[in-house]
């Protein structure tokens, strides 16, 4: 059965965007049915015609007028079409609210074209199932039926730490921390080239590439501002090992930013300008099935306890193998 609600707009709320107004007003009700609504979910409801103003559909940017009558309908959640799969997970931390997973390179986070099985979501659905009736009972639904529990993503070939929410309150709280840029996310990357500086800060907008919609670029018509900080950890002549900290979280941010300043992530077939590690391959080392990028550190405020938690994972074997090889040259 759907949840419904009607709101009468007074002069105090006139001129506000409807999506922002609903996010603030529904959240202030402090009821379990409504506090889990994110702005993106509200915008999806508006696009799907489940939010009307005086009986008419509107857009998310509609400015409210005194006397408007908003009607909202929240449909019952659909059962997920993603099937649970018994895939082993490297779980760094888990409690009743959150799971921290150390994702291996090569694993897709959620189903998409060409990757409908073997995903992190499939593994999570199996891990969180009720052992007696095989029904998943503890993953948030804010991300949608294809992305239960997923607060943020890592690229398929990026390894490392990723957080998963078990309930909607936790999901919304962690998403807000991401938006407020208070979550600590540090990466390690091996890049092509010897950086001139020992540390630096890259500040450039990132958006869709003007001619290739599957790629991101700093040369874009509608970019969103992005900030990446880096520090040199180790130099290898032709390559540099960097520690990076994300101050924003744009799609492919680290890979795009590093490529834009002339130091693409080693093994990056999309943003690496055709680069291959010929020296390593020539010595017979089986490497570069993926780009050398690892999400090493993840820190956040626990949504329910209020404590700051921080986790660190060691570099995966493939990256350690490459580094050990370079150290011997």
Q: DSSP string spanning 222-278?
A: S-EEEEEEEEEEEE-SSEEEEEEEESS--TTHHHHHHHHTT-PBTT-TTTSTT---H
Tell me, rounded to whole angstroms, the distance of Cα 100 from its chain centroid: 13
> Span 248-271, mean pLDDT?
92
pLDDT at 162 over 50: yes
Domain boundaries, the chain: 3-74, 91-175, 184-327
pLDDT at 48 over 60: yes
Residue whose tokens read 């008419």: 56
- Mention the CATH class of domain 3-74: alpha beta
Tell me, rounded to whole angstroms, the distance of Cα 280 from its chain centroid: 32
| Number of CB atoms found within 10 A of residue 161's CB | 25
What's the confidence (pLDDT) of residue 210?
A: 79
In this structure, of 23-27, 83-87, 288-292, the range with the lowest mean pLDDT score is: 23-27
The b/e string for 222-239 (b: 16+ C-beta within 10 A; e otherwise) is: ebeebbbbbebeeeeeeb
Distance CA 97, CA 140 (A): 9
Residue whose tokens read 């007028």: 65
**Inter-CA distances, 209 with 191, 216, 249, 306, Å:** 22, 5, 17, 40
What's the confidence (pLDDT) of residue 135?
A: 47
Global pTM reads 0.76
pLDDT at 138 over 80: no
Cβ proximity of 253 and 271 under 8 Å: no
Phi/psi at 318 (nearest 5 deg)?
Answer: -65, -40
155 is catalytic: yes
pLDDT at 83 over 80: yes
Residue whose tokens read 């959640």: 77
91-175, CATH topology level? Pseudouridine synthase (3.30.2350)
What's the confidence (pLDDT) of residue 28?
A: 53
Does domain 184-327 fall into CATH 3.30.2350.10?
Answer: yes
Mean pLDDT of the chain: 85
pLDDT at 265 over 70: yes
Q: Do domains 3-74 and 91-175 have the same CATH topology?
A: no
In this structure, of 2-11, 187-196, 304-313, the range with the lowest mean pLDDT score is: 2-11
Which residues have a Cβ under 8 Å from the Cβ of 204 and sit 6 or more positions away?
218, 223, 225, 226, 257, 260
Distance CA 43, CA 41 (A): 5
Distance CA 10, CA 329 (A): 72
Please tell me which residue in 19, 155, 167, 318 is annotated as part of the active site: 155
């Amino acid at each position: 059965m759907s949840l419904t609600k009607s709101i009468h707009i007074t002069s105090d709320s006139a001129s506000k965007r409807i999506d922002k107004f609903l996010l603030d007003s529904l959240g202030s009700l402090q009821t379990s049915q409504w506090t889990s609504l994110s702005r993106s979910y509200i915008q999806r409801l508006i696009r799907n015609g489940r939010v009307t103003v005086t009986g008419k559909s509107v857009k998310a940017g509609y400015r409210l007028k005194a006397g408007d009558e908003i009607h909202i309908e929240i449909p019952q959640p659909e059962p997920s079409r993603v099937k649970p799969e018994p895939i082993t997970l490297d779980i760094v931390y888990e409690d009743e609210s959150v799971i921290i997973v150390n994702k291996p390179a090569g694993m897709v986070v959620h189903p998409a074209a060409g990757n409908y099985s073997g995903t992190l979501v499939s593994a999570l659905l199996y891990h969180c199932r009720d052992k007696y009736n095989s029904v998943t009972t503890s993953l948030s639904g804010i991300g949608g039926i294809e992305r239960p529990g997923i607060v943020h993503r890592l690229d398929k070939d990026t390894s490392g730490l990723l957080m998963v929410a078990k309930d909607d309150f936790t999901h919304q709280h962690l998403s807000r921390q991401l938006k407020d840029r208070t979550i600590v996310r540090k990466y390690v990357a091996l890049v092509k080239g010897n950086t001139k500086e020992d540390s630096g800060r890259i500040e450039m907008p990132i958006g869709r590439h003007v001619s290739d919609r599957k790629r991101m670029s700093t040369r874009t018509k509608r970019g969103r501002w992005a900030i990446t900080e880096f520090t040199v950890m180790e130099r290898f002549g032709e390559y540099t090992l960097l520690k990076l900290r994300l101050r924003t979280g744009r799609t492919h941010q680290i890979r795009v930013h590093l490529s834009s300043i002339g130091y693409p992530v080693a093994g990056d077939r999309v943003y690496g300008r055709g680069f291959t590690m010929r020296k390593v391959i020539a010595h017979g080392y089986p490497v570069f099935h993926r780009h050398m990028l690892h999400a090493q550190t993840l820190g956040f405020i626990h949504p329910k306890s209020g404590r700051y938690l921080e986790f660190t994972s060691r570099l995966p074997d493939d990256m350690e193998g490459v580094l050990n090889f370079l150290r011997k040259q």
